[in-house]
C-alpha cells in the first residue's frame, strides 16, 4: 500500500504515514494545500466536521505501537486504557520466541469500552487463535461409538460438567464437526451431519474469546483503529500487565 510520509525536523525522523497521495503539495500562511486530479484541497481545516476524508474517499485512523515493559519476563495483558475522546477498535498480539508469528491474539471492539471520567477503559479478551488447543476452553469428550444423522454416540457418558450447548465439536485432527445443539446420556446432537470414523476421539471447544487462554508474551503489539469521520483526539494509551507465574 502506498503512503505519503511526514518528516519532522524537530526529531530528525519520519514520524507519520498518511493515506492521501497528492499530485502536488504546498504550505502557505500556516495552511496545508494539496492538488489531486486538478482539484485544490485544503487540509487540517478545523471548520470541516468530516475528518479523514481525502479526495472523496474515507479512511480510518490507525496507530500501532509496542509494549515492552520488563522485556525479560513473560506477562499477561489484562486491561487497556485510552486517554482519548472516543474508544478505538483494538487488535493485540503477543510474542515469545518468534517475532513474525504471534502466539496469542485478541480484539476489543469500541462497544466494549467503558467511559470513566473521560477515559476509555476495557479488559483484554482471551486468545482468539482457533488452533490453540492448550487453552482451558478445550476439553475432551471421549471416543465415538457411532453416528446416526446429526447424533453422535460416544463410548462413554457425556461429561456434563464441561459440555455446553453452542460449543464446537472437533475430531482429533482438529476438523470441525459441528455445533452442539443438545446432549443426553452418551449422545450429542449437532447442527450438521458429520462423517466420523468409529473410535475417533472428539473434543469440545468453548468460545475462545471468553474462555480461552490469556494474552501473554514478552512483548505486545497493539493496533488502534478509529473508523469514524468525526474529530479524534488521543493523548496516551496504557496497557495493564501482570507477571506470569507458571505453576
pLDDT digits (tens, 9 = 90+) for 166-213: 999 999 888 999 999 999 999 999 999 999 999 999 999 988 888 888
Q: Is 97 a residue whose pLDDT tops 80?
A: no
- Structural contact between residues 234 and 86, judged by C-beta atoms closer than 8 angstroms: no
Q: In the prediction, which pLDDT does 247 show?
A: 61
Q: What is the domain-level CATH number for residue 221?
A: 2.60.120
Same domain for 107 and 166, yes or no, is no
- 67 shares its domain with 180: no
Specify the number of domains making up the chain.
Answer: 3
Q: How confident is the model at residue 96 (pLDDT cuts 50, 70, 90)?
A: confident
**What pLDDT shows up at residue 101?**
64
Phi/psi at 138 (5° precision): -110, 135
171 CB-contact burial (10 Å; exposed 0-12 / middle 13-18 / buried 19+)? middle
- In this structure, the answer to whether residues 189 and 147 fall within a common structural domain is yes
Distance from C-alpha of 19 to C-alpha of 106, rounded to nearest angstrom: 26
186 and 145 in a common domain: yes
- pLDDT digits 0-9 by tens, 137-164: 889 999 999 999 999 999 999 999 889 9
Q: Are residues 107 and 226 in the same domain?
A: yes
Residue 111 backbone phi and psi in degrees, to 5:
-70, -15
* Boundary-marking domain end, from 44, 59, 74: 59
Note down the domain range covering 36.
Answer: 4-59
Label each residue of the chain as H, E or C. Answer: CCCEEEEECCCCEEEEEECCCCCEEEEECCEEEEEECCEEEEECCCCCCCCCEECCEECCEEEEEEECCCCCCCEEEEEEEEEECCCCEEEEEEECCCCCCCCEEEEECHHHCEEECCEEEEECCCCCCCCCCCCCCEEEEEEEEEEECCEEEECCCCCCCCCCCCCEEEECCCCEEEEEEEEECCEEEECCCCCCCCCCEEEEECCHHHHCCCCEECEEEEEEEECCCCCCCEEEEEEEEEECCCC
**Residue 91 pLDDT grade (very low, low, confident, very high; cuts 50, 70, 90):** very high
Q: Which three cell numbers stand for residue 136?
A: 482451558
Cell 476452553 belongs to which residue?
A: 137
Same domain (yes/no): 32, 150: no
Whole-structure pTM value:
0.78
Amino acid at each position: 500500500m502506498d503512503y505519503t510520509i511526514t518528516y519532522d525536523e524537530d526529531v530528525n525522523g519520519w514520524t507519520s504515514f498518511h493515506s492521501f497521495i497528492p499530485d502536488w503539495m504546498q504550505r502557505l500562511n500556516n495552511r496545508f494545500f494539496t492538488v489531486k486530479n486538478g482539484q485544490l484541497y485544503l487540509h487540517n481545516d478545523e471548520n470541516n466536521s468530516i475528518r479523514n476524508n481525502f479526495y472523496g474517499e474515507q479512511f480510518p485512523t490507525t496507530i500501532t505501537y509496542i509494549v515492552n515493559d520488563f522485556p525479560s519476563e513473560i506477562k499477561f495483558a489484562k486491561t487497556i486504557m485510552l486517554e482519548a475522546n472516543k474508544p478505538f477498535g483494538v487488535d493485540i498480539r503477543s510474542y515469545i520466541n518468534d517475532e513474525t508469528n504471534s502466539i496469542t491474539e485478541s480484539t476489543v471492539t469500541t462497544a466494549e469500552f467503558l467511559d470513566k471520567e473521560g477515559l476509555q477503559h476495557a479488559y483484554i479478551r482471551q486468545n482468539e487463535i482457533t488452533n490453540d488447543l492448550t487453552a482451558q476452553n478445550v476439553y475432551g469428550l471421549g471416543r465415538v461409538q457411532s453416528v446416526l444423522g446429526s447424533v453422535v454416540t460416544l463410548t462413554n457418558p457425556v461429561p456434563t460438567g464441561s459440555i455446553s450447548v453452542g460449543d464446537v465439536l472437533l475430531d482429533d485432527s482438529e476438523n470441525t464437526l459441528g455445533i452442539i445443539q443438545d446432549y443426553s446420556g452418551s449422545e450429542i446432537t449437532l447442527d450438521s451431519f458429520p462423517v466420523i470414523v468409529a473410535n475417533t476421539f472428539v473434543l469440545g471447544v468453548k468460545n475462545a474469546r471468553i474462555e480461552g487462554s490469556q494474552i501473554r508474551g514478552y512483548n505486545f503489539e497493539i493496533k488502534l483503529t478509529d473508523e469514524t469521520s468525526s474529530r479524534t483526539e488521543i493523548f496516551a494509551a496504557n496497557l495493564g500487565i501482570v507477571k506470569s507465574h507458571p505453576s
